[in-house]
């Protein structure tokens, strides 16, 4: 059996179930062998007995997986092990327990005031002329998000995260309640009425490859929100500053989106979002599908932008380890409602709700010997 990234973009609970099925199907006598292709060493360590590490089309290391972990030979293997360690929650739990304190969000006034928001959608009719059933995607939800705060919204697929994201972006209406931005009500409307909001709140997409026009140059892509929102000032200078902030130099200005790698495309998407100098970024699974070293660099980039510019970030994700590495506060959703809302340190070390504990338990553990971690981090 060949499994090519079978768990990419799945929430951790579904991922754990898929891995469990693969284990049962390929373990024991008279069962098929498994060729498991992944960028996630933690997942591989739970499922595989042997590993082959590849870089730039070449095999750089191979052997029994526990031996590779015990004494990695190639620098790239060490980098993958260190990045895989950062992609679990153990380092953050250990750090927080050692410090015995919670990292608090900055004390700023409320920026987003979400009051009693709910949303339901009509389902297809089962028979002609019958009444449609309503599917509740979001139950009455109330949240307050401070200016400059980094907040993670996590949950399994179908928990209501995406519906809440669409409402925050003023891309969908509500059935009850409403959203206020800095005291001003926000609702879906013509772009001319929402220019003030689009300047202040920008979106970082999950899949930049499909959201960036393949035939537009990077210069055009980053400048587009400045043009459409009629942001005053030197646009060319704003584009260059945005690219510099995400670690891309001027040689990328003339490149087309189709010529960019996955990590470069995500950096361009972030540059496009920060070009208007917004107060808040709303990021939808910003590292989903990226390899572990690239994932780590994008998380570090978003954190640095937030710290340097004072930009708040709402991260919608199923990846608790990514949220743990950058967010002051975490909101857990299930069945269209908020089931836990706490500082990230508290939520990781003392989860209260069963769904939160389920999410934490489902995150892959890096089966690694202590000396291997020392070698990887050196």
- Assess if residue 31 is contained within a domain: yes
Here the CATH number for the domain that contains residue 306 is 3.40.50.300
pLDDT at 170: 92
Instruction: Check whether residue 266 and residue 372 sit in a common domain.
Output: no
Section 364-369 average pLDDT: 65
Place 130 in a pLDDT band, splitting at 50, 70 and 90.
confident
Place 292 in a pLDDT band, splitting at 50, 70 and 90.
confident
Instruction: Check whether residue 318 and residue 372 sit in a common domain.
Output: no
Place 180 in a pLDDT band, splitting at 50, 70 and 90.
very high
Quick check: 108 and 146 in contact, CB under 8 A?
yes
CA distance readout (Å), 311 to 241, 288, 329: 16, 22, 15
Place 48 in a pLDDT band, splitting at 50, 70 and 90.
confident
Which alpha helices (DSSP H) does 187-261 contain, by range? Answer: 191-200, 208-211, 218-228, 235-245
Instruction: Check whether residue 293 and residue 373 sit in a common domain.
Output: no
Section 276-282 average pLDDT: 95
Place 61 in a pLDDT band, splitting at 50, 70 and 90.
very high
Instruction: Check whether residue 341 and residue 372 sit in a common domain.
Output: no
pLDDT at 378: 52
- Domain count across the chain: 2
pLDDT at 373: 53
Backbone conformation region of residue 6, classed left if phi is above 0, alpha if psi is from -120 to 50, else beta: alpha
Instruction: Check whether residue 222 and residue 318 sit in a common domain.
Output: yes
Residue 156 has pLDDT above 80, yes or no: yes
Q: Which pLDDT tens digit goes with each residue over 306-335?
A: 999 999 999 998 888 888 888 989 999 999
Q: Which pLDDT tens digit goes with each residue over 86-112?
A: 777 777 776 666 654 444 445 689 999
């Amino acid at each position: 059996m060949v499994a090519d990234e079978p768990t990419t973009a799945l929430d951790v609970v579904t991922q754990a179930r898929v891995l469990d099925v693969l284990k049962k199907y390929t373990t024991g006598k008279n069962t098929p062998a498994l060729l498991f292709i992944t960028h996630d060493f933690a997942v591989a360590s739970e499922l595989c007995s042997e590993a082959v590490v590849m870089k730039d089309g070449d095999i750089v290391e191979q052997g029994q997986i526990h031996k590779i972990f015990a004494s990695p030979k190639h620098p790239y293997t060490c980098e993958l092990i260190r990045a895989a360690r950062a992609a679990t929650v153990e380092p953050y739990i250990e750090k927080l327990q050692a410090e015995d304190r919670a990292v608090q969000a900055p004390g700023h006034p409320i920026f987003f005031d979400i009051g009693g928001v709910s949303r339901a959608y009509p389902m297809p009719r089962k028979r002609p002329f019958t009444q449609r059933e309503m599917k509740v995607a979001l139950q009455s939800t109330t949240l307050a998000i401070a200016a400059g705060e980094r907040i993670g919204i996590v949950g399994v697929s179908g928990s209501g995260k995406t519906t809440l994201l669409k409402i925050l972006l003023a891309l969908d209406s509500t059935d009850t309640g409403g959203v206020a931005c800095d005291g001003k009500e926000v609702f879906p409307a013509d772009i001319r009425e929402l220019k003030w909001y689009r300047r202040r709140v920008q979106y970082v997409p999950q899949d930049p490859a499909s959201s960036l026009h393949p035939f537009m140059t990077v210069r055009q892509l980053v400048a587009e929100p400045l043009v459409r929102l009629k942001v005053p000032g030197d646009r060319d200078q704003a584009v260059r500053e945005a690219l510099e902030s995400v670690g891309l130099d001027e040689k990328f200005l003339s490149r087309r989106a189709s010529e960019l790698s996955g990590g470069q495309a995500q950096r361009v998407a972030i540059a496009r979002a920060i070009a208007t100098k917004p107060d808040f970024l709303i990021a939808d699974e910003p590292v989903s599908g990226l390899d572990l070293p690239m994932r780590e660099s994008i998380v570090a980039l978003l954190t640095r932008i937030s710290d340097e510019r004072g930009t708040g970030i709402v991260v919608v994700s199923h990846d608790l380890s990514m949220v743990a590495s950058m967010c002051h506060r975490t909101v857990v959703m299930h069945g269209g409602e908020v089931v836990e809302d706490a500082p990230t340190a508290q939520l990781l070390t003392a989860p209260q709700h069963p769904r939160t504990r389920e999410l934490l338990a489902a995150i892959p553990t890096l089966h690694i010997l202590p000396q291997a971690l020392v070698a990887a981090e050196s």
